[in-house]
Structure 1
Amino acid sequence: MSNPAHRTTEGNTEGNTEFGRKPFKRSRSHFADRVTADGRDGWPVEAGRYRLVVSRACPWASRALVSRRLLGLEDALPVAVADPIQDDRSWRFTLDPDGRDPVLGIRFLSEAYDARETDYPGGVSVPAIVDVPSGKLVTNDFQRITLDLATQWTALHRSGAPDLYPEALRGEIDEVMEGVYRDVNNGVYRAGFATRQSEYEDAYRDVFRRLDLVSERLADRRYLVGDTITEADIRLFTTLVRFDAVYHGHFKCNRSKLAEDRVLWAYTRDLYQTPGFGDTVDFDHIKRHYYKVHTGINPTGIVPLGPDLSGFLSPHHREELGGRPFGDGTPPGPVPRGEEIPAAGLP
Structure 2
Amino acid sequence: MSATPQAARPSAPAFRGRIGRDARSGHYAVPNRYRLHLTTACADGLRIAVAHSLLGLADVCPVTFLPAVPDRADGGHAVLRPLYDAGAHRYAGAALAPVLSDDWSGRVVSTHAPDITRDLAGRFGGCRTDLYPRGAESEIEAVERMCAEGVEDAAQRAGAPGTGPGERARALETLRTSLNALDRRLDGRTHMLRDQITAADVELWVTLVQLDTVHRHHLDATTVEHLAGRTALWSYARRLTARPAFGRHLDLDAISRRHQARCEGLEAAGAAVQILDWAAHTAADATAVRTADTR
Normalising by structure 2, we get a TM-score of 0.82
- Distance in 1, matches of 2:130 and 2:122, equals 8
Deviations 1:300-332 (A, max 9, x none): xxxx898496465459xxxxxxxxxxxxxxxxx
- Distance in 2, matches of 1:292 and 1:177, equals 27
- Structure 1 segments of 4 or more deviating over 6 A? none
The correspondence for 2:235, drawn from 233, 255, 266, is: 266
The correspondence for 1:133, drawn from 99, 104, 125, is: 104
- Distance in 1, matches of 2:55 and 2:95, equals 27
Counterpart in the other structure of 2:196: 228
> Structure 1 residue 214: deviation in Å?
0.3
> Structure 1 residue 174: deviation in Å?
2.0
Question: 5+ residue gaps in structure 2?
Answer: none
Letter in 2 for 1:175: A
- Distance in 2, matches of 1:13 and 1:186, equals 18
Change (3 A) 1:314 1:75: closer
Question: Helix, strand or coil for the counterpart of 2:136?
Answer: helix
> Structure 1 residue 73: deviation in Å?
0.4
Letter in 1 for 2:212: D
The correspondence for 2:12, drawn from 6, 21, 28, is: 28
- Distance in 1, matches of 2:147 and 2:17, equals 25
Change (3 A) 1:314 1:138: closer
Contact 1:273 1:313 in 2 (8 A): no
Counterpart in the other structure of 2:81: 110
Contact 2:41 2:258 in 1 (8 A): yes
The correspondence for 1:88, drawn from 73, 83, 95, is: 73
Counterpart in the other structure of 2:142: 175
| Structure with more of its chain in helix, by fraction | 2
The correspondence for 2:129, drawn from 162, 171, 174, is: 162
> Structure 1 residue 114: deviation in Å?
2.0
Change (3 A) 1:177 1:253: farther
Contact 1:126 1:142 in 2 (8 A): no
Change (3 A) 1:311 1:177: closer
> Structure 1 residue 36: deviation in Å?
2.6
Change (3 A) 1:30 1:6: closer
Counterpart in the other structure of 1:50: 34
- Give the root-mean-square deviation of aligned CA atoms: 3.1
- Distance in 2, matches of 1:33 and 1:45, equals 13
Contact 2:140 2:200 in 1 (8 A): yes
Q: Report the identity percentage.
A: 29
- Distance in 2, matches of 1:125 and 1:187, equals 24
> Structure 1 residue 230: deviation in Å?
0.6
Contact 2:6 2:12 in 1 (8 A): no
Correspondences of 1:1-347 after superposition (within 5 Å): 14=10, 27-86=11-70, 87-92=72-77, 107-154=78-125, 157=126, 161-193=128-160, 195-197=162-164, 198-249=166-217, 251-252=218-219, 255-256=223-224, 259-294=228-263, 296-297=264-265, 307=274, 310=277, 313=280, 340-341=289-290
Contact 1:291 1:298 in 2 (8 A): no
> Structure 1 residue 192: deviation in Å?
4.0
- Distance in 1, matches of 2:143 and 2:200, equals 7
Change (3 A) 1:82 1:232: same
Q: Between Structure 1 and Structure 2, how many residues are aligned? A: 278
Question: Helix, strand or coil for the counterpart of 1:248?
Answer: helix
- Distance in 1, matches of 2:281 and 2:288, equals 24
Deviations 1:156-182 (A, max 9, x none): x4xx61111001222222222222222
